[in-house]
Amino acid sequence: MKEPSAIHATFVMERKYKAAPEKVFAAFADPAKKRRWFVESGGHELIEQYQMDFRVGGQERACFRFKEGTPVAGLICVTEGRYQDIVPDRRIVEASTMTIGGRRISASQVTIDLLPDEGGTELILTHQGAFFEGADGPQMREGGWRKLIDRLEGELEA
Protein backbone atom coordinates (compact mmCIF):
# COMPACT_ATOMS: atom_id res chain seq x y z
CA MET A 1 0.00 0.00 0.00
CA LYS A 2 1.31 3.43 -0.92
CA GLU A 3 1.81 6.17 1.65
CA PRO A 4 -0.87 8.88 1.52
CA SER A 5 0.20 12.15 -0.08
CA ALA A 6 -1.28 14.10 2.85
CA ILE A 7 -1.07 13.46 6.56
CA HIS A 8 -4.09 14.72 8.49
CA ALA A 9 -3.74 15.68 12.12
CA THR A 10 -5.59 17.60 14.80
CA PHE A 11 -4.16 18.89 18.04
CA VAL A 12 -5.66 20.94 20.84
CA MET A 13 -3.79 23.25 23.22
CA GLU A 14 -5.16 24.91 26.31
CA ARG A 15 -3.53 27.86 28.05
CA LYS A 16 -4.62 30.18 30.84
CA TYR A 17 -3.69 33.86 30.80
CA LYS A 18 -4.16 36.42 33.56
CA ALA A 19 -5.57 38.91 31.01
CA ALA A 20 -9.30 39.40 30.32
CA PRO A 21 -10.77 37.82 27.15
CA GLU A 22 -11.04 41.30 25.59
CA LYS A 23 -7.28 41.82 25.93
CA VAL A 24 -6.43 38.37 24.56
CA PHE A 25 -8.83 38.91 21.64
CA ALA A 26 -7.19 42.29 20.92
CA ALA A 27 -3.79 40.57 20.67
CA PHE A 28 -5.22 38.59 17.73
CA ALA A 29 -7.33 41.40 16.23
CA ASP A 30 -4.91 44.34 16.27
CA PRO A 31 -2.37 44.05 13.41
CA ALA A 32 0.46 45.78 15.32
CA LYS A 33 0.00 43.54 18.36
CA LYS A 34 -0.33 40.33 16.36
CA ARG A 35 2.70 41.21 14.27
CA ARG A 36 4.82 41.54 17.44
CA TRP A 37 4.03 38.15 18.94
CA PHE A 38 3.00 36.12 15.89
CA VAL A 39 5.23 37.29 13.05
CA GLU A 40 8.37 38.88 14.51
CA SER A 41 10.79 36.38 15.99
CA GLY A 42 14.48 35.68 16.18
CA GLY A 43 14.27 32.81 13.69
CA HIS A 44 13.25 34.77 10.60
CA GLU A 45 13.05 38.21 9.02
CA LEU A 46 10.08 39.74 7.23
CA ILE A 47 10.76 40.42 3.57
CA GLU A 48 7.35 41.91 2.73
CA GLN A 49 4.90 44.10 4.61
CA TYR A 50 2.75 42.02 7.01
CA GLN A 51 -0.89 42.24 5.91
CA MET A 52 -3.96 41.66 8.07
CA ASP A 53 -7.62 42.49 7.39
CA PHE A 54 -9.33 41.27 10.56
CA ARG A 55 -12.92 40.62 9.51
CA VAL A 56 -14.87 37.59 8.31
CA GLY A 57 -13.60 37.03 4.76
CA GLY A 58 -10.53 39.20 5.40
CA GLN A 59 -7.05 37.94 4.66
CA GLU A 60 -3.77 37.69 6.52
CA ARG A 61 -0.38 37.30 4.83
CA ALA A 62 3.19 37.07 6.07
CA CYS A 63 6.29 36.51 3.94
CA PHE A 64 9.65 35.96 5.60
CA ARG A 65 13.07 34.36 5.16
CA PHE A 66 14.41 31.89 7.71
CA LYS A 67 17.69 32.92 9.35
CA GLU A 68 20.89 30.88 9.68
CA GLY A 69 20.69 28.22 12.37
CA THR A 70 17.12 27.20 11.51
CA PRO A 71 16.32 23.88 9.79
CA VAL A 72 15.31 25.70 6.58
CA ALA A 73 17.81 28.58 6.65
CA GLY A 74 17.59 30.92 3.68
CA LEU A 75 14.24 29.64 2.44
CA ILE A 76 11.26 31.92 2.03
CA CYS A 77 8.04 31.08 3.84
CA VAL A 78 4.64 32.50 2.91
CA THR A 79 1.59 32.04 5.12
CA GLU A 80 -1.78 33.11 3.76
CA GLY A 81 -5.06 32.87 5.62
CA ARG A 82 -8.68 33.90 5.46
CA TYR A 83 -10.85 34.57 8.50
CA GLN A 84 -13.84 32.21 8.47
CA ASP A 85 -15.59 33.29 11.68
CA ILE A 86 -15.07 35.99 14.30
CA VAL A 87 -17.08 36.44 17.50
CA PRO A 88 -15.60 39.42 19.39
CA ASP A 89 -13.84 38.47 22.62
CA ARG A 90 -14.93 34.82 22.15
CA ARG A 91 -13.82 33.02 18.95
CA ILE A 92 -11.63 33.31 15.85
CA VAL A 93 -11.51 30.74 13.03
CA GLU A 94 -8.93 31.06 10.25
CA ALA A 95 -8.16 28.78 7.30
CA SER A 96 -4.60 29.08 5.98
CA THR A 97 -1.84 27.63 3.84
CA MET A 98 1.92 27.60 4.28
CA THR A 99 4.49 27.52 1.49
CA ILE A 100 8.24 27.08 2.07
CA GLY A 101 10.77 27.45 -0.72
CA GLY A 102 7.98 27.71 -3.29
CA ARG A 103 6.39 24.40 -2.21
CA ARG A 104 2.99 24.25 -0.52
CA ILE A 105 3.51 22.22 2.66
CA SER A 106 0.15 22.47 4.42
CA ALA A 107 -3.43 23.66 4.63
CA SER A 108 -4.94 24.23 8.06
CA GLN A 109 -7.88 25.51 10.00
CA VAL A 110 -7.24 27.03 13.43
CA THR A 111 -9.98 27.80 15.93
CA ILE A 112 -9.20 30.03 18.89
CA ASP A 113 -11.79 29.89 21.70
CA LEU A 114 -11.51 32.40 24.55
CA LEU A 115 -13.33 31.54 27.78
CA PRO A 116 -13.51 33.78 30.87
CA ASP A 117 -11.67 32.03 33.70
CA GLU A 118 -11.31 33.32 37.28
CA GLY A 119 -9.81 36.73 36.59
CA GLY A 120 -8.36 35.78 33.24
CA THR A 121 -8.88 33.80 30.08
CA GLU A 122 -8.65 30.18 29.07
CA LEU A 123 -7.49 29.94 25.47
CA ILE A 124 -8.32 26.74 23.60
CA LEU A 125 -6.53 26.40 20.27
CA THR A 126 -7.67 23.64 17.90
CA HIS A 127 -5.48 23.07 14.85
CA GLN A 128 -6.75 20.81 12.06
CA GLY A 129 -4.23 20.32 9.29
CA ALA A 130 -3.32 18.50 6.13
CA PHE A 131 0.47 18.21 5.70
CA PHE A 132 1.64 17.49 2.15
CA GLU A 133 4.29 15.12 0.79
CA GLY A 134 6.44 14.68 3.88
CA ALA A 135 6.27 18.37 4.83
CA ASP A 136 6.92 19.81 8.29
CA GLY A 137 4.36 17.53 9.87
CA PRO A 138 2.08 17.78 12.84
CA GLN A 139 4.80 17.59 15.51
CA MET A 140 6.72 20.57 14.16
CA ARG A 141 3.54 22.60 13.71
CA GLU A 142 2.43 21.87 17.26
CA GLY A 143 5.85 22.90 18.53
CA GLY A 144 5.59 26.12 16.56
CA TRP A 145 2.19 26.92 18.07
CA ARG A 146 3.53 26.22 21.57
CA LYS A 147 6.22 28.84 21.02
CA LEU A 148 3.65 31.27 19.65
CA ILE A 149 1.28 30.99 22.60
CA ASP A 150 4.28 31.51 24.89
CA ARG A 151 5.08 34.68 22.95
CA LEU A 152 1.43 35.74 23.26
CA GLU A 153 1.83 35.68 27.03
CA GLY A 154 4.69 38.17 26.71
CA GLU A 155 2.51 40.44 24.58
CA LEU A 156 -0.29 40.31 27.15
CA GLU A 157 2.10 41.20 29.97
CA ALA A 158 3.60 44.16 28.08
Comparing CA positions, the residue from 109, 105, 112 lying closest to residue 140 is 105
Note whether residue 20 is domain-resident: yes
The string of pLDDT tens digits covering residues 67-116 is 888 778 889 999 999 999 999 999 999 999 999 999 999 999 999 999 99
Question: pTM (2 decimals)?
Answer: 0.92
Residue range(s) defining the domain that contains residue 32 = 6-157
> HSE on the CB side for 133, CA within 13 Å?
5
Note whether residue 78 is domain-resident: yes
Mean pLDDT of 16-43: 94
- pLDDT greater than 90 at residue 42: no
- pLDDT greater than 90 at residue 137: no
**Quick one: DSSP state of residue 41?**
B
- pLDDT greater than 90 at residue 41: no
Q: How many angstroms separate the CA atoms of 133 and 4, rounded?
A: 8
The per-residue pLDDT of the chain, averaged, comes to 92
- pLDDT for residue 112: 98
Percent of the chain scored above 70 by pLDDT?
Answer: 96
> Structurally, how many domains does the chain consist of?
1
CATH of the domain at 87: 3.30.530.20
Percent of the chain scored above 90 by pLDDT?
Answer: 77
Note whether residue 29 is domain-resident: yes
CB of 126 within 8 A of CB of 12? yes
Note whether residue 96 is domain-resident: yes
Most confident of 4-8, 19-23, 45-49, 75-79: 19-23
Note whether residue 1 is domain-resident: no
- pLDDT for residue 4: 67
